[in-house]
Amino acid sequence: MTLDVEICSGTEVAGQRVAARIAALIRDKPDAVIGVATGSSPEPVYRALARFVDDGLDASGVRWFALDEYIGLPPGHPQSYRAVLERVLIGPLGLHPTSLHVPDGTAADPEVAAEAYEAAIAGAGVDLQILGIGGNGHIGFNEPGTPFSATTHRATLTESTRRANARFFPSADAVPVECLTQGLATIMRAGRIELVASGSHKADAVAAAVRGPVTEQCPASILQRHPDVCVNLDTDSAAAVYESS
């Protein structure tokens, strides 16, 4: 196992530790570029970061780049990832919305929007990327089978991902089918990666990512090839990592 794994007693503790490392980065480099995930996993990180800001951390020079965005939600839809990140990150940290960059899921031509986003990220250079992980091992919306060489692209969500995200929508049918996502090659260019996971429903995916073979069937396993990754787990999501095989 090559990845650095930190097991915490709970998600708030993990969030505090990850946020402390991000705060240190921002103090060191006030114009840092930080890649941000949506979903439940990173929310404790954003809550803890907001406390650092309350205590005087100046994050106003940071540029934030989202991992992904749904295609087809109307502009301003409360579950669009732009709206979610404005709610859980930009608002609580008192930041300007223009510091947040999100792929344009409303673009007439999603492929053109994907290319534009890839160019923007490549130009900015991500210093640190926050990731969650799907129960099927996805990172961003790179579902199993996505080539490791993929850059930002238009992708189709698997049924299991749509079911998992149905909790944010009135019904599973209301979850968009398509998205724009940073590709695995895009994610791998980040200088550092902080992955957060919690809950027993993530245990198999975490174990496959951390100590399974590096395979496109488990997209997160590509992280074993990155030189600077910290995998932050609670005890439930870590349960299968140290099981004897």
125: left (phi over 0), alpha (psi -120 to 50) or beta: left
16 or 165: CB nearest ligand F6R: 165
57 or 150: CB nearest ligand F6R: 150
DSSP 24-49: HHHHH-TT-EEEE--SSTTHHHHHHH
CA angle 150, 152, 158 (to 5 degrees): 75
Shortest distance, position 67 Cβ to ligand F6R, whole Å: 4
Q: Which tokens belong to 98? A: 């223009």
40 or 224: CB nearest ligand F6R: 40
The reply on whether position 221 binds ligand F6R by CB under 6 A is no
| Residues touching ligand F6R, count (CB under 6 A) | 14
Q: Which tokens belong to 229? A: 């990754």
Q: What mask, x for binding ligand F6R by CB under 6 A, covers residues 151 to 190?
A: ----------------------------------------
The yes-or-no answer on residue 165 being catalytic is no
The reply on whether position 38 binds ligand F6R by CB under 6 A is yes
82 or 211: CB nearest ligand F6R: 82
The reply on whether position 140 binds ligand F6R by CB under 6 A is yes
Are 230 and 14 within 8 A, CB to CB?
A: no
The reply on whether position 106 binds ligand F6R by CB under 6 A is no
Q: How far apart are CA 105 and CA 130, in angstroms?
A: 21
One of 132, 176, 212, 219 touching ligand F6R (CB under 6 A) = 132
Dihedral sign of CA atoms 170, 173, 178, 183 in order? positive
One of 15, 39, 103, 137 touching ligand F6R (CB under 6 A) = 39
One of 37, 95, 121, 187 touching ligand F6R (CB under 6 A) = 37
The reply on whether position 210 binds ligand F6R by CB under 6 A is no
The reply on whether position 138 binds ligand F6R by CB under 6 A is yes
57 or 152: CB nearest ligand F6R: 152
CA angle 28, 29, 34 (to 5 degrees): 120
Nearest to 133 by CA among 241, 1, 22: 241
The yes-or-no answer on residue 143 being catalytic is yes
57 or 67: CB nearest ligand F6R: 67
Are 58 and 27 within 8 A, CB to CB?
A: no
Residues across the chain: 245
Reported as type and span, the H/E element at residue 205 is helix 203-211
The reply on whether position 95 binds ligand F6R by CB under 6 A is no
The residue type at 210: V
Active-site annotation, residues: 68, 136, 138, 143
Which residues would be at the binding site for ligand F6R (CB under 6 A)? Answer: 37-41, 67-68, 132-134, 138-141
